[in-house]
Amino acid sequence: MNELEKHFPNLSQEQIQKFNKLIPLYNYWNQKVNLVSRKDIDNLFINHILHSLSITNVITFKSSTKILDVGTGGGFPGIPLAIFFSDCHFTLVDSIGKKIDVVKSICDELSLSNVNAINDRVENHYDKYDFVLSRAVARMDKFYELVKKNISPRSSNEKINGIISLKGGDLNDELKGFKENKVFNISEYLPYEYFQTKKVVYIPFNP
């Protein structure tokens, strides 16, 4: 994990210890439940952990910020971000129960008391949050309609409350309906080949 400390030199020893536990934990659980593809598990650090943490180059959540991770799957980007922003509150939602069961086990193993994992579809979830996260869950127009009910209109962070999404490829058509969107190229922060086409998309919420 020396690469992690190189990119994030301000991590505490407790955070480093938790990140160091992630790869063996995912290796163990991925043999039981297909959290990430079998061929991808060897690239867990770059393709999943660092990818999740790329969001920290775009925004620093203030203490007590409430964040919803929709379609979290095996806990990405929610779990790495919950380690990084230990004073924020994360809710991880996924419709696949066995994945949420693993997410809960991993959070227990890491003593992540700032994470709540829920087995449900976001359509049935009505709690309010400052930010909603996703990782290529759906086209932005459809996703925005699904989660706008979950975004609080009151902002306390440097950015207006809204959606932060990890996406890839050409997004011009997908984002043309969102005039205030901001797109950040991850390769500018993390110089790995995997991130050449990867982006962080920010959509402010306008109620």
Query: What CATH number does the domain containing 65 carry?
Result: 3.40.50.150
Question: How many folded domains does the chain comprise?
Answer: 1
Q: From the CA atom positions of the chain, what is the Rg in Å? A: 16
pLDDT, one tens digit per residue, over 55-77 is 999 999 999 999 999 999 999 99
The answer to whether the CB of 49 falls within 8 A of the CB of 40 is no
Angle at 186 (CA atoms; ends 24, 11), nearest 5 degrees: 50
**Which residue range(s) make up the domain with 55?**
2-204
Q: Looking at residue 126, what is its pLDDT?
A: 97
The answer to whether the CB of 133 falls within 8 A of the CB of 164 is yes
pLDDT, one tens digit per residue, over 78-101 is 999 999 999 999 999 999 999 999
pLDDT, one tens digit per residue, over 142-196 is 999 999 999 999 999 999 999 999 999 899 999 999 999 999 999 999 999 999 9
| CA–CA distance, 65 with 69 (Å, rounded to integer) | 13
pLDDT, one tens digit per residue, over 11-58 is 999 999 999 999 999 999 999 998 888 878 889 999 999 999 999 999
User: What is the pTM assigned to this prediction?
Assistant: 0.96
Average pLDDT of the segment spanning 120-142: 94
Q: How far is CA 11 from CA 14, 114, 189, in A?
A: 8, 17, 17
